[in-house]
Copies of this chain bind each other. A is one copy, B any other.
Amino acid sequence: MDVISIGLLGLGTVGSGVVKIIENHQDKLMHQIGCPVKVKKVLVKDIHKERNVQIDKELLTVNPDDILEDSEIDVVIEVMGGIDETKGYLLKALKNKKNVVTANKDLMALHGNQLLTEATSNGCDLFYEASVAGGIPILRGLVEGLASDRITKMMGIVNGTTNFILTKMNKFGSPYEEVLKEAQQLGFAEADPSADVEGLDAARKMAILSTLGFSMPIDLSDVKVEGITGITEEDISYSKKLGYTMKLIGIASRNGEKVEVSVQPALLTETHPLASVNDEYNAVYVYGEAVGETMFYGPGAGSLPTATAVVSDVVGVMKNMRLGVTGNSAISPQYKKSLKTPSEIHAKYFVRLHVKDEVGVFANITSIFSEHGVSFEKILQMPIKEHELAEIVVITHNATLKGFEDILNKLKEYEMVREVKSTYRVEGE
């Protein structure tokens, strides 16, 4: 090969980063690949738009076929985002025997299996390291680094926006709405933050992670999702008092053949490695039967970090091209999907209640829990004098999700309970 030609779909934040890295690190790339790497064509929406990267206008096109049908282009990098149209482009690229590198988590979470099958049947590589946790090489870590181990649990802080918001709420006790505004001003949250704050973005990444880590085809719809919009200052304050840090955690756990994947705000023991992952940083904690605890930490987003993952994938593709072994990296999931039922999901819970401050109420509440086999690990009770109420906060020992939901229903029916203020999962012990 004289030169490796790249077609770039998209020239936004990540796309500009890709162009910069290919230019600035050309000598390292050349040393590893053995020939120069060139961006040959870039698909954009508007050729005349001002860009924050120097690029020859001649390279820009608004016609995807200038890339997808160009037989000289070896690798297509997709950093334009979107789902249906983008999927069409990538299928076409693969059919035309082009290797594909994508940073598109939405697309991979929804149509990853179809795209991977298409890649394999065309003898092409499809790499997507950048789709999860930006610059952190976590997919490689799972697939190669822990190739011999049986992974039983993954916990991820995989959304930078919500981690930024929760870090500030934890640190300064500020209310959610105020911190969200600050995050928007600083560019850590979108104008419409819903995909982030509702947990959907994290759920996409957990679907991709658990598919790889458990070798089981987990779809986005299998992931139970809860966002951070309901977290109050009181919740944060109590979690601190009890020795926890509030984080939006993606949890994927396996017992035997059965798995559970969820995203929710959870109380994490302060000494857990994930608890000190702050601001916009991401981290994925992996528990393997043999290796024990490992954690991969780094920037979860951003132009250059994400572009690093994209270009490192391109290097992987190119090495495979040189060796003549593209299309061999995808390993289809080993196991059929088997999800835990609510009776098979075990966790500890934080529960905060407002109850009437009368004799015998706490004893009755205790029995509602104990009738379901659930006891308390920590208890905090404080009077709310002006309303003749008491605030009760408990951390339970392990309960099944089914049992816990039954308890909540019973509590809501009990006339002495004014309100179940909040409940969270507790992790990290």
Binding site for B on A (CB under 8 A): 17, 20-22, 24-25, 27-29, 31-32, 129, 135-137, 140-141, 144-150, 215, 273, 276, 281, 288-299, 302, 304-305, 307-312, 314-316, 319, 323-325, 328, 331, 334
Contacts and interface: CB of A to CB of B under 8 A. Distances in A.
Which 9 pairs from chain A and chain B are nearest by CB? Answer: A137-B145, A148-B311, A294-B298, A295-B297, A135-B291, A147-B315, A290-B304, A147-B312, A291-B308
Contacts of A312: 144-149
B135 A140 contact: no
B316 A290 contact: no
A308 B135 contact: no
A297 B296 CA distance: 6
A290 B309 CA distance: 10
Oligomeric state, in copies:
2
Contacts of A27: 334
Contact of A305 (B20, B136, B292, B304): B292
A141 B297 CA distance: 12
18 contacts: A25-B149, A25-B289, A28-B334, A32-B147, A135-B288, A136-B294, A137-B145, A137-B146, A140-B145, A146-B312, A291-B298, A291-B304, A294-B296, A294-B299, A295-B295, A319-B328, A323-B325, A324-B325
Contacts of A32: 147, 331
A298 B290 contact: no
A316 B307 CA distance: 26
B148 A140 contact: no
